[in-house]
């Protein structure tokens, strides 16, 4: 047996290291091990040396021995290949990708019981404002002391004090309790002929046990979820695991409920809001193969499924599948690669597929399965534009008379309305009427956004908050601050003023910040306790409210400004998506889109329902500009707390740019978000033809360079954000 093992440790700053293997230690590739590093011990994974070259090889006599091998299934070769591919493609340290696979450090330690804490319902004899706040925020939740302290926004000591006082008690949680297996035949729907045809193709793909990327393309409400559930059922019957990726954590809760209705029990959930004990239990069940179906946000993609048989990407066009920090990967693209390495089908479900995905279909690389009509005779909503240059709202108002009339009619009929505006808070900008001072974040190139519900100004980029001052900090004039422009809170005020009897709900990440809040909102909608919802993109996806018949898009032009590559496409997707919330039941839906540019191609496409020509024109524009998917981009983002350092580093990178046929480097230039979280930012944009291995070029280029310690250089391959 080979007396040495190459180990990729969970430390992104390190390359792979070699260790001595003692007799009796089984360290096949993929084994999860514990290895000494200086005075510490770190977890890592044994790798094939030919797949993970080391530039620090050490002689046999100087090797340190491994500290131990975990009693866990080794990472499969397919996952090791995925980790290598992701690291190479996105220019990330392999260990940073590995970290996403071994995402629960505590799970490695086995299935001990964990002590968590929960409120007893008893009020402590001595109350303090902090204790009151803690008990209020924790409500009926449970977790480690640290987790409860975070939820409550108090120190650990406050929680421990409450434990002493008897208001919070310890509970033993067993983290290896098995998950119930979903029943594929629990409540199978009667599929329409078109749905049955689509489902048959998907279940065949599951049975074939081979790589097959499939676009499931169907209008909103056509039953895409019901149809891909059939594929999930087939994977369960075959004893194989399924991963369903959702674009946002907020969608998990409604999904769990719907899944449970269809399969009898909820699937295993994976996202960043899990408690440590939940993560641990989920990770172990996924690795052992006992978790039949996992639903999660993009981080679920790298978990060590023992026997994956199917991946579903729901709302596959969503740009939130793109991770914007750490390893900057696109979960849709990596999911397809995982399908390839695992040799399994990957279903991309969407009503408005991304141009990149359509192009793969056009090239014959992805198969397309279509669902042309809404289920059960429900019709597509009627979409009309409101020309804001003609049909103007009153001064200081944001809703045009035509939309106000429609809201009134809908309310009179006892039906529900949804107003969509992708802006949290009350107003996006606050300024001083007297001197013109604007409130900017001290850490970012961004305005402070007024939130009246919580009475503060907040930066949406770094989280900086401040109380709204009474006087202008610049000219000291009192009561001179004015709110400019609308956010959802301001629209809610307007609705309340127009229709005092209407019951409104604001739906943003500020109001639906927990699964319980989401469940409460859904419950109130279904019970008819809400007449008008005012929401951000959070409310555009996944929900099915049959009595919701009117959708108003408050500002359709909002997404078009900024002019990045995908602005028009994203606006189209977003508005089509929110329009899809209207008229999903027996009553027809109506959509009114407020715009200053009713002639814009996006608006025309939405109103006429002719998505195909819009997409064709967008695709042509991309082709002639050699933009993705026809050419490729990579952004190099240089940041530093020191402006001169950021500029100098970016310039030296720019000067060192290699001359490569078919590649052009733009910049450096200050990023549109020139400062973010206290760091100055410069950008370079690399534009290359499709066939060029641009990552390899960049690797060689940056590999030759050094920059000061205070400067950070990040490469964003296939960028979605140009900020």
Q: Which residues bind Zn ion (CB under 5 A)?
A: 441, 443-444, 459, 461-462, 464
What is the nearest approach in angstroms of ligand ADP to the Cβ of residue 575?
A: 16
Q: Residue 618: which of 597, 596, 601 has the closest Cα?
A: 601
What angle, 0 to 180 degrees and rounded to 10, lies between the N-to-C axes of helices 488-498 and 401-412?
Answer: 60
Q: How far apart are the first and last CA of the chain?
A: 53
Nearer to ligand ADP, 218 or 339 (CB): 218
What is the nearest approach in angstroms of Zn ion to the Cβ of residue 641?
A: 14
CA–CA gap between residue 142 and residue 140 (Å, rounded) = 7
Nearer to Zn ion, 54 or 440 (CB): 440
Residues 6+ apart with CB under 8 A from 64: 19, 20, 35, 36
222 binds, among ligand ADP, Zn ion, none (CB under 5 to 8 A by kind): ligand ADP
Q: How many CB atoms lie within 10 A of CB 330?
A: 20
CA–CA gap between residue 550 and residue 90 (Å, rounded) = 43
Pairing of strands 679-689, 663-676: antiparallel
225 binds, among ligand ADP, Zn ion, none (CB under 5 to 8 A by kind): ligand ADP
What is the nearest approach in angstroms of ligand ADP to the Cβ of residue 314?
A: 8
221 binds, among ligand ADP, Zn ion, none (CB under 5 to 8 A by kind): ligand ADP
Nearer to Zn ion, 306 or 461 (CB): 461
Nearer to ligand ADP, 263 or 633 (CB): 263
The tokens for 447 are 């305005």
Pairing of strands 429-432, 481-484: antiparallel
What's the burial of 673, exposed, middle or buried (CB within 10 Å: 0-12/13-18/19+)?
middle
Nearer to ligand ADP, 182 or 223 (CB): 223
**DSSP-derived 3-state class of residue 478:** strand
Per CB under 6 A, residues contacting ligand ADP are: 189-192, 195, 218, 220-226, 375, 544
Contact (Cβ atoms closer than 8 angstroms) between residue 504 and residue 475: no
What is the nearest approach in angstroms of ligand ADP to the Cβ of residue 189?
A: 3
As a whole number of Å, the CA-based R_g of the chain is 27
CA–CA gap between residue 520 and residue 253 (Å, rounded) = 11
CA–CA gap between residue 46 and residue 19 (Å, rounded) = 10
443 binds, among ligand ADP, Zn ion, none (CB under 5 to 8 A by kind): Zn ion
461 binds, among ligand ADP, Zn ion, none (CB under 5 to 8 A by kind): Zn ion
Residues in the chain: 723
Nearer to ligand ADP, 216 or 444 (CB): 216
Q: Residue 14: which of 37, 40, 48 has the closest Cα?
A: 37
What is the nearest approach in angstroms of ligand ADP to the Cβ of residue 361?
A: 18
441 binds, among Zn ion, ligand ADP, none (CB under 5 to 8 A by kind): Zn ion
Pairing of strands 367-371, 212-218: parallel
Nearer to ligand ADP, 228 or 722 (CB): 228
Nearer to ligand ADP, 119 or 580 (CB): 580
DSSP characters over 408-427: HHHHHTT-EEEEE----SSB
**DSSP-derived 3-state class of residue 609:** coil
What is the nearest approach in angstroms of Zn ion to the Cβ of residue 324?
A: 15
Nearer to Zn ion, 291 or 459 (CB): 459
What is the nearest approach in angstroms of ligand ADP to the Cβ of residue 436?
A: 47
CA distances from residue 133 to 148, 274, 548 in whole angstroms, order as listed: 12, 22, 36
203 binds, among Zn ion, ligand ADP, none (CB under 5 to 8 A by kind): none
What is the nearest approach in angstroms of ligand ADP to the Cβ of residue 227?
A: 7
What is the nearest approach in angstroms of ligand ADP to the Cβ of residue 267?
A: 16
Nearer to Zn ion, 76 or 424 (CB): 424
Residues 6+ apart with CB under 8 A from 340: 211
Residues 6+ apart with CB under 8 A from 184: 232, 233, 234, 236, 237, 263
What is the nearest approach in angstroms of Zn ion to the Cβ of residue 143?
A: 29
Report which DSSP code applies to 381: P
What is the nearest approach in angstroms of ligand ADP to the Cβ of residue 195?
A: 5
Nearer to Zn ion, 176 or 641 (CB): 641
459 binds, among Zn ion, ligand ADP, none (CB under 5 to 8 A by kind): Zn ion
């Amino acid at each position: 047996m080979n007396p040495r093992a190459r180990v990729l440790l969970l430390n992104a700053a390190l390359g792979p290291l070699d260790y001595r293997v003692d007799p009796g230690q089984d360290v096949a590739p993929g084994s999860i091990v514990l290895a000494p590093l200086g005075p510490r011990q770190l977890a890592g994974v044994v790798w094939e040396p030919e797949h993970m070259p080391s530039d620090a090889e050490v002689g046999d006599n100087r090797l340190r021995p491994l500290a131990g091998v975990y009693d866990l299934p080794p990472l499969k070769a397919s996952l090791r290949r995925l980790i290598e591919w992701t690291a190479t493609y996105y220019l990330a340290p392999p260990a940073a990708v590995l970290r996403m696979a071994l995402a629960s450090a505590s799970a490695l330690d086995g299935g001990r019981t964990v002590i968590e804490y929960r409120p007893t319902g008893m009020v402590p004899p001595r109350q303090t404002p902090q204790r009151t706040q803690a008990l209020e925020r924790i409500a009926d939740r449970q977790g480690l002391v640290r987790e409860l302290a975070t939820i409550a926004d108090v120190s650990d000591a406050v929680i421990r004090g409450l434990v002493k006082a008897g208001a919070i008690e310890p509970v033993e949680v067993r983290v290896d309790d098995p998950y119930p297996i979903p029943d594929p035949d629990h409540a199978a729907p009667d599929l329409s002929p078109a749905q049955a045809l689509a489902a048959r193709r998907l279940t065949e793909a599951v049975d074939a046990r081979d790589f097959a990327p499939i676009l499931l393309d169907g209008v909103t409400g056509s039953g895409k979820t019901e149809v891909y559930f059939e594929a999930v059922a087939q994977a369960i019957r075959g004893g194989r695991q399924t991963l369903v990726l959702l674009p946002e954590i907020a969608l998990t809760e409604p999904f769990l409920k719907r899944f449970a209705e269809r399969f009898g029990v909820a699937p295993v959930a994976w996202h960043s809001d899990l408690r440590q004990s939940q993560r641990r239990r989920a990770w172990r069940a996924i690795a052992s193969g006992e978790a039949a179906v996992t639903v999660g946000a993009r981080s679920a993609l790298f978990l060590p499924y023992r026997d994956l048989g199917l991946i579903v990407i729901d709302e596959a066009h969503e740009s939130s599948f793109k991770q914007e920090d750490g390893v900057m990967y696109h979960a849709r693209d990596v999911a397809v690669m995982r399908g390839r390495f695992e040799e399994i089908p990957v279903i991309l479900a969407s009503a408005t597929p991304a141009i990149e995905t359509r192009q793969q279909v056009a090239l014959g690389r992805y198969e397309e399965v279509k669902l042309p009509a809404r289920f059960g005779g429900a019709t597509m909503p009627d979409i009309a534009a409101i020309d804001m240059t003609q049909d103007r709202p009153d001064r200081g108002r944001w809703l045009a008379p035509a939309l106000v009339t429609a809201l009134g009619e809908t309310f009179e009929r006892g039906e529900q309305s949804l107003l969509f505006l992708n802006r949290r808070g009350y107003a996006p900008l606050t300024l001083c009427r007297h001197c013109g001072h604007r409130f900017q974040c001290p850490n970012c190139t961004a305005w402070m956004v007024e939130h009246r519900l919580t009475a503060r100004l907040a930066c949406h980029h770094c989280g900086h908050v401040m109380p709204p001052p009474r006087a202008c900090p610049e000219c000291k004039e009192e009561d001179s601050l004015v709110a400019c422009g609308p956010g959802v809170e301001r629209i809610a005020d307007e609705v309340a003023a127009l229709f005092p009897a209407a019951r409104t709900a604001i739906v943003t990440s500020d109001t639906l910040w927990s699964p319980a809040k989401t469940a409460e909102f859904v419950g109130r909608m279904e019970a008819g306790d809400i007449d008008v919802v005012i929401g951000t993109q959070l409310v555009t996806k996944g929900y099915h409210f049959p009595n919701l018949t009117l959708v108003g898009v408050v500002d359709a032009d909002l997404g078009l400004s900024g002019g990045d590559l995908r602005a028009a496409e994203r606006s189209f997707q977003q508005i089509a998506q929110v329009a899809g919330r209207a008229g999903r039941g027996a009553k027809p839906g109506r959509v009114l889109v407020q715009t200053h540019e009713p002639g814009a191609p996006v608006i025309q496409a939405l109103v006429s329902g002719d998505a195909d020509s819009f997409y064709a024109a967008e695709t042509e524009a991309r082709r002639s500009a050699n933009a993705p998917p026809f050419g490729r981009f990579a952004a190099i983002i240089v940041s530093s707390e020191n402006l001169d350092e950021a500029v100098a580093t970016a310039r030296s990178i720019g000067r060192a740019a290699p001359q490569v046929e078919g590649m052009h480097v733009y910049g450096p230039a200050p990023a549109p978000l020139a400062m973010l979280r206290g760091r100055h930012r410069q950008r370079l944009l690399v534009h290359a033809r499709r066939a060029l291995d641009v990552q390899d070029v960049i690797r060689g280029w940056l590999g030759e360079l050094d920059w000061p310690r205070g400067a950070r250089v990040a490469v964003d391959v296939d960028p979605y954000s140009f900020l």
